[in-house]
């Protein structure tokens, strides 16, 4: 009888298949495949009508037994799999500590920036925002930098579309603030500046600066000295000495460059200060009356001072970092140290 042979071969492959299953999902698929409404056994039952009459009882009996056999095999297997699943849950110690995720941290430049802003905040300076994409007016003109000044040339400034540029100094924030608010003014602003310099250990096409400004009636040079000295002592240490060297900046008059005694060697000379004993850290001066006029503040009534410093440089000095590129490479082996 052909049907009987077919049934036997279905039975054989069903048993083999079910024994190899090791997931509850696979088991359910097999149950549907063999015992389901459209399953192989159901199809076999339907084909009984084509079997010779005398063979029908035998075929019917075989099918019933086969159904039982496959059904109980599936049940047995299911129980085994469920027990295994329970056991694996029991072996799972849910009181074990989880997988610890490493915490991120602030970039050393951001930390330096925040530390410095904090010192000035304690002296009453308000930290403000200012745009990085600027016009020539804010980056040069209003800061009294003449049209033919070399810093305006394309190899010193990044120009973008529509006459806009990437600011090359945070001094832009001075103009924006003095335009917006009336004196008395006491602000700091820190952020990125851009210059098309060739990148090396001490130059980057993008770096951070911080700008400070104070405008009121009767502000004099010694106010500037007092504020900067307080900052230097707070940030670099109580023993630090300051030196004001005359300098030229178009937007301040008089102007100075400010050195601090090397806080590593105390002024004796070491690798960090290139054996000079002094470190150059700031540019500053009394705000040029022409700049005040640009922002419609009467220089006969008000005076003020301004200062600017490179955050990268200060962070490098403080932590003994000898290559500015380390700040921008995002190598976690470097960043993790702060």
Binding site for ligand DAH (CB under 6 A): 169, 171, 211, 249, 252, 283-285, 306-308
Shortest distance, position 332 Cβ to ligand DAH, whole Å: 31
Shortest distance, position 301 Cβ to ligand DAH, whole Å: 21
State which residue, 188 or 240, has the beta carbon closest to ligand DAH. 188
DSSP-derived letter for residue 235 is: H
| Residue number closest to ligand DAH, CB atom | 308
Shortest distance, position 110 Cβ to ligand DAH, whole Å: 20
Shortest distance, position 175 Cβ to ligand DAH, whole Å: 11
State which residue, 11 or 211, has the beta carbon closest to ligand DAH. 211
Q: Using the structure block, give the residue that is written with the tokens 């070399």.
A: 150
Structure token pair of residue 337: 């140290």
Q: Using the structure block, give the residue that is written with the tokens 């290139």.
A: 274
Q: Which DSSP string do the residues of 122-177 spell out, in sequence order?
A: HTTPEE----SEEEHHHHTGGGT--TT-GGGSTTTSEE-GGGEEE-S-TTHHHHHH
Q: Which whole-number Å values give the CA distances from 209 to 109, 266, 287, in the listed order?
A: 10, 26, 18
Shortest distance, position 205 Cβ to ligand DAH, whole Å: 15
Shortest distance, position 249 Cβ to ligand DAH, whole Å: 4
Cα of first residue to Cα of last residue in the chain, in angstroms, is 84
Assess contact for 78 and 24: CB atoms under 8 A: yes
State which residue, 183 or 283, has the beta carbon closest to ligand DAH. 283
CA 254/CA 317 separation, integer angstroms: 27
Residue 329 zone, left/alpha/beta (φ > 0; ψ -120 to 50; rest): alpha
Shortest distance, position 154 Cβ to ligand DAH, whole Å: 18
Shortest distance, position 157 Cβ to ligand DAH, whole Å: 12
State which residue, 39 or 183, has the beta carbon closest to ligand DAH. 183
Q: What are phi and psi of 20, to 5 degrees?
A: -85, -15
How many contiguous H segments (helices) and E segments (strands) does the chain have? 11, 10
State which residue, 169 or 261, has the beta carbon closest to ligand DAH. 169
C-beta atoms surrounding 38 within 10 Å: 8
State which residue, 77 or 167, has the beta carbon closest to ligand DAH. 167
State which residue, 235 or 249, has the beta carbon closest to ligand DAH. 249
Assess contact for 287 and 251: CB atoms under 8 A: yes
State which residue, 83 or 293, has the beta carbon closest to ligand DAH. 293
């Amino acid at each position: 009888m052909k049907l009987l042979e077919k049934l036997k071969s279905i039975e054989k492959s069903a048993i083999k298949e079910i024994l190899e299953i090791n997931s509850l999902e696979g088991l359910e698929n097999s149950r549907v495949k063999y015992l389901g409404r459209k399953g192989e056994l159901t199809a076999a039952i339907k084909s009984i009508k084509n079997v010779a009459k005398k063979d029908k009882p035998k075929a019917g009996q075989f099918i019933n037994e086969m159904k039982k056999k496959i059904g109980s095999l599936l049940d047995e297997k299911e129980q085994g799999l469920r027990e295994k699943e329970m056991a694996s849950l029991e072996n799972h110690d849910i009181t074990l500590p989880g997988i610890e995720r490493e915490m991120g941290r602030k970039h050393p430049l951001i930390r330096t920036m925040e530390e410095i802003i904090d010192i000035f905040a304690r002296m009453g300076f308000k930290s403000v925002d200012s745009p990085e994409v600027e016009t020539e007016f804010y980056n040069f003109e209003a800061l009294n930098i003449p049209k033919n000044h070399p810093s305006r040339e394309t190899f010193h400034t990044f120009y973008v579309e529509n006459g806009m540029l990437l600011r090359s100094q945070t001094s832009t924030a001075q103009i924006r603030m003095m335009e917006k608010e009336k004196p008395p003014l006491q602000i700091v602003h820190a952020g990125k500046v851009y210059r098309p310099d060739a990148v090396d250990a001490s130059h980057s096409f993008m770096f951070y600066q911080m700008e400070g400004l104070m405008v009121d009636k009767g502000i004099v040079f010694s106010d500037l000295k007092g504020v900067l000295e307080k900052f230097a002592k707070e940030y670099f240490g109580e023993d630090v000495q300051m030196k004001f060297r005359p300098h030229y900046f178009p937007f301040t008059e008089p102007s100075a460059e400010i050195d601090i005694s090397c806080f590593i060697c105390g002024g004796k000379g070491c690798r960090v200060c290139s054996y000079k004993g002094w470190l150059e850290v700031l540019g500053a001066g009394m705000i040029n009356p022409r700049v005040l006029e640009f922002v419609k503040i009467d220089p006969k009534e008000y005076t003020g001072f301004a200062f600017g410093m490179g955050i990268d440089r200060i962070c490098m000095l403080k932590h003994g970092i000898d290559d500015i590129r380390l700040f921008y490479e995002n190598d976690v082996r470097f960043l993790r140290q702060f």
